[in-house]
């Protein structure tokens, strides 16, 4: 007979969040698999983004703020020939009429340099930022105009992985608070057009990388035996 699960459990799970699942939905699935233990996540991923989501369980939830402060790594695919209201594939694509020839790889590499280091970034209108107690995405979905103030973000590395017009793939290493979707728009504007993300994948939060993540499936929920014995001190 298998031993009973421990009655007191705490620690973290490194989840590979699937496409179409919200971060809060992932937390609910883990909480159910863990028998209702206190559970929270350390950094939201959009439903249409995939990859590393740290979920803290039990007393480890007290370390969520510390985990959220860690650097993040992303890989994203950007379409520079169009945009969408949400700056990803969730909403309807709007073609961009260009007045200049499409940029080549050298022009894009030059444009990327302005997004390395600290700079003010405007969050997407469809984001979880709060405006007078309301989520920006709720205001935007109601048809109201949303104008968010820019906030300072920091990018440590920004590398082009591939390019074939109009698709560019980038790798990003940044601090918390950075919006990959805003980068797609800002890069597109810098190149004389616009852009949106067709894919976003978070590959790491601090030392917690995608190769250490477990797949989250509805039919096979996590349980206390899958709670990774990763020391929280490793994140400091």
pLDDT, tens only, 136-176 = 555 556 555 667 778 999 999 999 999 999 999 999 999 99
Which residues are designated catalytic? 46
Q: How far is CA 72 from CA 68, 116, 191, 197, in A?
A: 9, 14, 25, 17
**How many C-alpha atoms does 188 have within 13 Å on its Cβ side?**
28
Q: Domain spanning 11-69+207-231 has what CATH number?
A: 3.30.2350.10
**Mean pLDDT score, 20-41:** 90
Q: Is residue 168 within 8 Å of residue 80, measured between CB atoms?
A: yes
Who's near 65: CB < 8 A, 6+ residues apart? none
- pLDDT above 70 covers what percent of the chain? 79
End-to-end CA distance of the chain: 39
Domain ranges (residues) in the chain = 11-69+207-231, 72-205
Q: Alpha-carbon distance 83 to 91, whole Å?
A: 9
Write down the CATH superfamily of domain 72-205: Pseudouridine synthase (3.30.2350.10)
What is the overall mean pLDDT for the chain? Answer: 85
In this predicted structure, the answer to whether residue 4 has a pLDDT above a threshold of 50 is no
Between 221 and 93, where is the model more confident? 93
CB atoms within 10 A of CB 181: 25
pLDDT, tens only, 101-124 = 899 999 999 999 999 999 999 988
Beta-bridged to residue 152, according to DSSP, are 120
């Amino acid at each position: 007979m298998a031993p009973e699960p421990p009655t007191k459990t705490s620690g973290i799970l490194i989840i590979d969040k699937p496409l179409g699942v919200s971060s809060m939905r992932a937390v609910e699935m883990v909480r159910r698999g863990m028998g209702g233990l206190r559970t929270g996540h350390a950094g939201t991923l959009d439903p249409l983004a995939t990859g590393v989501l740290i979920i803290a369980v039990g007393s480890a939830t007290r370390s969520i703020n510390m985990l959220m402060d860690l650097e993040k790594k992303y890989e994203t695919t950007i379409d520079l020939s169009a945009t969408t209201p949400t700056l990803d594939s969730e909403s309807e694509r709007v073609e961009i009429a260009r007045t200049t020839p499409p940029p080549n790889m050298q022009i894009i590499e030059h444009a990327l340099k302005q997004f390395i280091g600290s700079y003010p970034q405007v969050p997407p209108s469809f984001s979880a930022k709060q405006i007078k107690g309301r989520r920006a995405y709720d205001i935007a979905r109601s048809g109201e105009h949303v104008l968010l103030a820019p906030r300072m973000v920091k990018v440590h590395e920004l590398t082009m992985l591939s390019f074939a017009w109009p698709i560019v793939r980038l790798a990003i290493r940044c601090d918390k608070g950075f919006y990959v979707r805003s980068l797609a728009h800002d890069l597109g504007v810098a190149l004389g057009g616009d852009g949106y993300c067709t894919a976003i994948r978070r590959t790491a939060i601090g030392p917690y990388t995608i190769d250490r993540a477990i797949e989250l499936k509805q039919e096979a929920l996590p349980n206390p035996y899958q709670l990774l014995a990763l020391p929280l001190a490793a994140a400091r």
